[in-house]
Amino acid sequence: TLQHIFKQIFKASLELQEDDHRKALLVSRKKQADDTVVEINGERVGDGQQRLIAGPCSVESYEQVDAVAAALKNQGVKFLRGGAFKPRTSPYDFQGLGEEGLKILRDVADKHGLAVISEIVNPGDIPMAVNYVDVIQIGARNMQNFELLKAAGSVDTPVLLKRGLSATIEEFMNAAEYILSKGNKNVMLCERGIRTYEKATRNTLDISAVPILKQETHLPVFVDVTHSTGRRDLLLPTAKAALAIGADGVMAEVHPDPAVALSDSAQQMDIDEFNDFMAKLEESGLYKSQKKVVKG
Amino acid sequence: TLQHIFKQIFKASLELQEDDHRKALLVSRKKQADDTVVEINGERVGDGQQRLIAGPCSVESYEQVDAVAAALKNQGVKFLRGGAFKPRTSPYDFQGLGEEGLKILRDVADKHGLAVISEIVNPGDIPMAVNYVDVIQIGARNMQNFELLKAAGSVDTPVLLKRGLSATIEEFMNAAEYILSKGNKNVMLCERGIRTYEKATRNTLDISAVPILKQETHLPVFVDVTHSTGRRDLLLPTAKAALAIGADGVMAEVHPDPAVALSDSAQQMDIDEFNDFMAKLEESGLYKSQKKVVKG
Amino acid sequence: TLQHIFKQIFKASLELQEDDHRKALLVSRKKQADDTVVEINGERVGDGQQRLIAGPCSVESYEQVDAVAAALKNQGVKFLRGGAFKPRTSPYDFQGLGEEGLKILRDVADKHGLAVISEIVNPGDIPMAVNYVDVIQIGARNMQNFELLKAAGSVDTPVLLKRGLSATIEEFMNAAEYILSKGNKNVMLCERGIRTYEKATRNTLDISAVPILKQETHLPVFVDVTHSTGRRDLLLPTAKAALAIGADGVMAEVHPDPAVALSDSAQQMDIDEFNDFMAKLEESGLYKSQKKVVKG
Amino acid sequence: TLQHIFKQIFKASLELQEDDHRKALLVSRKKQADDTVVEINGERVGDGQQRLIAGPCSVESYEQVDAVAAALKNQGVKFLRGGAFKPRTSPYDFQGLGEEGLKILRDVADKHGLAVISEIVNPGDIPMAVNYVDVIQIGARNMQNFELLKAAGSVDTPVLLKRGLSATIEEFMNAAEYILSKGNKNVMLCERGIRTYEKATRNTLDISAVPILKQETHLPVFVDVTHSTGRRDLLLPTAKAALAIGADGVMAEVHPDPAVALSDSAQQMDIDEFNDFMAKLEESGLYKSQKKVVKG
């Protein structure tokens, strides 16, 4: 039992040590009072100006991405998203174009002067991906794929981390901590709805998570209105709520022809709907357009 | 088996009949395209102007209610809430002052020119209650207390129906239908958070329910920011989100001295906090004050 | 602020008092170490022998109930359930036969020597109901209808209290406490599934609630296999699990012709299926039949 | 719009193709009517005899694992589990001994004639891991780490796939399909509780999932009683329920000195408790011991 006592002392000191670590989580406002501002391709996120991220669910072709990118540029939106590696429930669903998809995103973004955000799913792909993307997205299903988090923490490329399907806010912050603890400070969080019993929406947008995350951490916080609601008709009202509650930005899906999209066809906007969405956001007074006004 | 066939025909016709009823739910926009505007004590709810309902969780004394009512009047808020019948988890928690509490609310409201909203929990109390209150509140725990809904449907007094702890939006609309089907058209809905696994907030505010309810029904929709979050620090940001997403109003709890409140002490604002809350809502541009400006 | 201090002292003493109450909840094993055994019509529930409650979802006619009751008697099952007051999501669904339904249950039960269990939904109906039923059921939607709980606590008739749609175990115990605190000690609990995101079953049977309730309280605990699963094919396996984990009994729905049932048609067993269910439960060794063996 | 029509035809045919795939999911009973029996180190799982998997949460030392393994052997339990790669919520919690932990497990298992089950978290580690383990465990947090599933599908080593924190049964089956679709047919499923609002248990054991998975798939199904409940006092009752409902086996955690365990200290059994657990399972008649009786 002496051995037992020593073990307990060892364990207690271990816990004490862990407790110290926790008090000083790198993501915490207690550790850093000032907001983290992430620089992406010359743009700044988290500096008080609210931003939009838009693009198709999946990269399908150069033409498809190019059409969306032109619409983004036209609206003053700087961040182009698109999925090249798609984590799909069924192995028989479209799994994405892979590295070829990343190349398309890069080429199109360069043409229009946009930044590229794309999801990476395999820790081993991170070194390849940073050649193409400006922001590594880590998706909801991989929020606790700790090997992927560690790999993303080992590079400098900014990371957009989405909340897990049913992650608590505390687990979400700890997942971000995995990335920061490996040295990468350029982390942005994204609320994207949580799984509840309610089936009127795909997930339940946990809007309160935004002010909580802004209080508890110094990281920029986005709201993905597409995956949280799963309904095209709710994109505009939830985007307004997100901006009103203090999110640093909103993410939404846009596709030139949603009816034939290889994934998420029911919830993406087409270009006209996107233009209308942007116009109404501006009208509401909640979003300040970054369109350059061309003078005559 | 001939008997069986007849039964099936009977059942099929019953179902058909029910289906017809459902298509024409009285709460549905399909049945009534125009917004329902509820008149309460000379004020209108649901006409496009966004309103506030405020007051203490429980009625404790005349002085307590009077202090809050004066603050409401000062801010141009017209709707005074307060609980006289308290549905509490434990039988040993404070159960409310009952009819005496309703009298206090009425007296104070008359003094300040406010309307009274208070929860009723027993179908047998409805006839008594309508002598005191301008709006009958039916609380979350009683959303599917169908006998209470029927009793509230049998009077003319407006009803504020709160969403159940884990009610679906469809169940919520059907609960409202119980009231309308008995003849009372003056129904207002109130989203107040749903029960999820997340424990950072008391409930999870389902902000998307607001635009869904506004689309599916013609009834006014409120958001109770106090019970959905259970956190004083989240009242202002969630109120902004509620107004931005199109709620007809916001409900919040105010108590002259929350630290000694007999219920919900952790989540009520004191008078100073309430004044600050109102000032910041107006500043945000999302709320139009109804304060009368006194000119010199 | 002296007043404030006095209020705090008052509140603190109130809390202390409540805390004492809680430590000694009447439902708690700490208050009563021995199992409560409820006597119903000469039968005992909670004495270690596991019992079955069966019958149709809704009472539809004398013939329907009589057919089920004969099958119960044949299988040695002593407890006949049937709904006369039906809490239905839609006001246009079948609402039950009311008092007429209770009369049918009583007449049929007397004919076959069975005990009657039926749900009551209005506090005002309790005095009438005790003339017909041996056990008052309080349904899931009314678990926190505290006026109904108090009314049921004011009579001697045993009460079967079902867990709310998304009630915590603690809330469930407090709901039972409402009944005991009014003087009625004959309370039985019934786990009937909780609301989760999973849609393969109607609710998610929380099987762990059974040993927790047996540990924390001295009350008999049943499992409603019909409403927890909503699937006829899961009644037998979940009944086995319930008996194996230590439930005092199982509740299941039986209807002579489920296809034409006015409610829950998809989940009730017909008489043949019920006989098969009973035979397989006995075969499993988990259930001891109470059939009387007729000797030649 | 001709192009649009062609795209729609293309998409429709794609969907049709996917639908065919789905009808014939490799995991489905429709594809294979007979139960899959997985052979592990000379033992068979899924052949009707119910088995136990036991061992410490984390591998901490040779002595610790050896003590548990001796207890397992003594009880006739053939499957030794232990975590070498630990997916922990916080990056500052103990992350496991890694490959060194796998070596310890292999050495101890060989000494006692047991099979080794251990979780792998990085797709890149699979080729290394198969040198040490008899069964690759894929944990709840990685159930939709599709890259890991594909890697595990590319080897022959049996896989124990745990249900995700809030995965639907359908998602669970599709995750298993990822493994089978890559060629590895030796897959076992493990229900381990789902995330709900209830906090009396760590997770809510979804016991109904067992008969559903047995009906829908031909794969063996285990129940992890430790992680589903998170409470030592519920291990025995839930194990009984799991065996009664038809699980192919039960998984439970055992540690020589739980109080000093580096993870999950509150829910692991010590050796005495484990012996008692085994004795009571046998007494219940629900578990057939595989202890070899030594004759005199």
Contact between chains at C234 and D208 (C-beta distance less than 8 A): yes
Q: Is C15 on the interface with B (CB under 8 A)?
A: no
B296 has a pLDDT exceeding 80 = no
H-helix or E-strand spanning residue C40: strand C38-40
Please say whether the beta carbons of C206 and C197 come within 8 A.
no
What are the beta bridge partners of residue A135? Answer: A117
Contact between chains at B197 and A170 (C-beta distance less than 8 A): no
**CATH code of the domain in which B108 resides:** 3.20.20.70
Q: What is the 3-state secondary structure (H, E, C) of C255-272?
A: CCCHHHCCCCCCCCECHH
Note whether C69 and C51 are same-domain residues. Answer: yes
- CA A153 to CA C190: how far, in whole Å? 50
3-state class (DSSP) for residue D72: helix
| Percent of chain B residues topping a pLDDT of 70 | 91
- CA B118 to CA B98: how far, in whole Å? 11
- CA C255 to CA D143: how far, in whole Å? 41
Q: What is the mean pLDDT of residues D114-137?
A: 98
Note whether C72 and C4 are same-domain residues. Answer: no
- Provide the pLDDT for residue C262: 84
What DSSP designation does C194 have? B
Q: Is B195 on the interface with D (CB under 8 A)?
A: yes
- Chain B residue with the nearest C-alpha to that of D202: B197
Distance from CA of D145 to the nearest CA of A (A): 6
Q: What does pLDDT average to over chain C?
A: 93
- CA B55 to CA B69: how far, in whole Å? 7
- Chain D residue with the nearest C-alpha to that of B198: D197
Note whether C5 and C150 are same-domain residues. Answer: no
Least confident span in A136-150, A249-263, C71-85: A249-263
Q: What does pLDDT average to over chain B?
A: 93
In a mutational test of the B interface, the residue from C16, C21, C145 whose CB has the highest number of chain B CBs within 10 Å is C145
A272 falls within a domain: yes
- Provide the pLDDT for residue C296: 47
For the record, the structure tokens of A124 come out as: 């081993």
Q: Is B223 on the interface with A (CB under 8 A)?
A: no
Please say whether the beta carbons of C229 and C267 come within 8 A.
yes
- Provide the pLDDT for residue C260: 87
Least confident span in B140-144, C177-181, C262-266, D204-208: C262-266
- CA C42 to CA D133: how far, in whole Å? 59
C149 falls within a domain: yes
- Provide the pLDDT for residue D15: 64
- Chain A residue with the nearest C-alpha to that of C202: A197
Q: Residues 225-244, chain D: which have Cβ within 8 Å of C?
A: 228-229, 233-234, 237-238, 240-244
B291 falls within a domain: no
Q: Is A245 on the interface with B (CB under 8 A)?
A: yes
| Percent of chain C residues topping a pLDDT of 70 | 91
D185 falls within a domain: yes
Least confident span in A6-15, D60-69, D203-212, D235-244: A6-15
**Cβ contacts (< 8 Å) between C164 and chain D: which residues?**
none
Contact between chains at D237 and C284 (C-beta distance less than 8 A): no
- CA D114 to CA D103: how far, in whole Å? 14
Q: How many CB atoms lie within 10 A of CB D74?
A: 14
- CA B251 to CA C255: how far, in whole Å? 47
C1 has a pLDDT exceeding 70 = no
Range of the structural domain that residue B142 is part of: 50-283
Handedness of CA C236, C240, C245, C247 (dihedral sign): positive
Q: Is D1 on the interface with A (CB under 8 A)?
A: no
D22 has a pLDDT exceeding 60 = no
- CA D186 to CA D179: how far, in whole Å? 9
B269 falls within a domain: yes
Q: How many helices (H) and strands (E) does chain A have?
A: 10, 10
- Provide the pLDDT for residue D209: 98
Distance from CA of C194 to the nearest CA of A (A): 10
Please say whether the beta carbons of C207 and C234 come within 8 A.
no
Of the candidates A31, A20, A129, the one whose C-alpha atom is nearest the C-alpha of residue A84 is: A129
Half-sphere exposure of C36 (CA within 13 A, CB side): 26
Q: Which residue's structure tokens are 């054991």?
A: D205
In chain C, the number of structural domains is 2
- Chain D residue with the nearest C-alpha to that of C285: D285
| Percent of chain A residues topping a pLDDT of 70 | 91
What are the beta bridge partners of residue D44? Answer: D39
- CA C250 to CA B52: how far, in whole Å? 49
C-alpha distance from residue D164 to each of A290, C21, D172 (Å): 41, 40, 7
What are the beta bridge partners of residue A39? Answer: A44
pLDDT in tens, C5-29: 666 666 666 666 556 555 689 999 9
For the record, the structure tokens of C271 come out as: 């008489």
Name the residue type at position A10. Answer: F
Contact between chains at C206 and D198 (C-beta distance less than 8 A): yes
Considering only residues C263 and A71, tell me which one the structure prediction assigns the higher pLDDT.
A71
Of the candidates B152, B162, B113, B97, the one whose C-alpha atom is nearest the C-alpha of residue B130 is: B152
**Cβ contacts (< 8 Å) between A171 and chain D: which residues?**
89
Contact between chains at C181 and B123 (C-beta distance less than 8 A): no
Q: What is the mean pLDDT of residues D117-133?
A: 97
- Which chains sit next to D, with 3 or more Cβ pairs under 8 A? A, B, C
Q: Which residue's structure tokens are 């609402």?
A: C95
Q: Residues 128-167, chain B: which have Cβ within 8 Å of D?
A: 166
- Chain C residue with the nearest C-alpha to that of A202: C197
Contact between chains at D208 and C200 (C-beta distance less than 8 A): yes
A189: burial class by Cβ within 10 Å (0-12, 13-18, 19+)?
A: buried
- Which chains sit next to A, with 3 or more Cβ pairs under 8 A? B, C, D
**Cβ contacts (< 8 Å) between D205 and chain C: which residues?**
206-208
Contact between chains at A195 and C195 (C-beta distance less than 8 A): no
For the record, the structure tokens of D219 come out as: 């794969």
Name the residue type at position C201. Answer: T
Q: Rg (Cα) of chain B, in Å, rounded?
A: 20
- CA C32 to CA C213: how far, in whole Å? 14
What DSSP designation does A80 have? E
A11 falls within a domain: no
A296 falls within a domain: no
Of the candidates B242, B219, B231, B235, the one whose C-alpha atom is nearest the C-alpha of residue B274 is: B235
C-alpha distance from residue D62 to each of A9, A176, B245, D86 (Å): 21, 34, 59, 17
Please say whether the beta carbons of D217 and D210 come within 8 A.
no
Q: What is the mean pLDDT of residues C237-265?
A: 94
Considering only residues B21 and D217, tell me which one the structure prediction assigns the higher pLDDT.
D217
A110: burial class by Cβ within 10 Å (0-12, 13-18, 19+)?
A: exposed
- CA A150 to CA A145: how far, in whole Å? 9
Name the residue type at position D50. Answer: Q
- Which chains sit next to C, with 3 or more Cβ pairs under 8 A? A, B, D
* DSSP per position, A20-61: HHHHT-TTBTTT--SPP-EEETTEEESSS--EEEEE-SB---
- Chain C residue with the nearest C-alpha to that of A196: C197
3-state class (DSSP) for residue D87: coil
Q: What is the mean pLDDT of residues D191-201?
A: 97
Q: What is the mean pLDDT of residues B125-150?
A: 98
A9 falls within a domain: no
Q: Which residue's structure tokens are 């002496």?
A: A2
Distance from CA of D203 to the nearest CA of B (A): 10
**Given phi > 0 = left and psi -120 to 50 = alpha, else beta, which region is A227?**
alpha
Distance from CA of A199 to the nearest CA of C (A): 9
Scored b (16 or more CB within 10 A) or e, B44-66 reads: ebbeeebbbbbbbbbbbeeebbb
Note whether C56 and C146 are same-domain residues. Answer: yes
Contact between chains at D195 and B197 (C-beta distance less than 8 A): yes
Contact between chains at B4 and C260 (C-beta distance less than 8 A): yes
Note whether C4 and C76 are same-domain residues. Answer: no
pLDDT in tens, A53-62: 999 999 999 9
Contact between chains at B124 and C124 (C-beta distance less than 8 A): yes
Contact between chains at B168 and A233 (C-beta distance less than 8 A): no
- Provide the pLDDT for residue B264: 78
- CA D204 to CA C201: how far, in whole Å? 14
What DSSP designation does C295 have? P
Q: What is the mean pLDDT of residues A46-73?
A: 97
In a mutational test of the A interface, the residue from D3, D90, D154, D179 whose CB has the highest number of chain A CBs within 10 Å is D90
How many A-C residue pairs are in contact by the CB < 8 A criterion? Answer: 8
- CA A154 to CA A132: how far, in whole Å? 17
Q: Is C211 on the interface with D (CB under 8 A)?
A: yes
- Provide the pLDDT for residue A22: 57
- Provide the pLDDT for residue C17: 59
Cα end-to-end span (Å), chain A: 87
For the record, the structure tokens of B293 come out as: 């400006």
Please say whether the beta carbons of B271 and B254 come within 8 A.
yes
**Cβ contacts (< 8 Å) between A195 and chain C: which residues?**
197
- Chain D residue with the nearest C-alpha to that of B195: D197
**Cβ contacts (< 8 Å) between B217 and chain A: which residues?**
none
Q: Which value does ipTM take for this structure?
A: 0.93
Cα end-to-end span (Å), chain C: 87
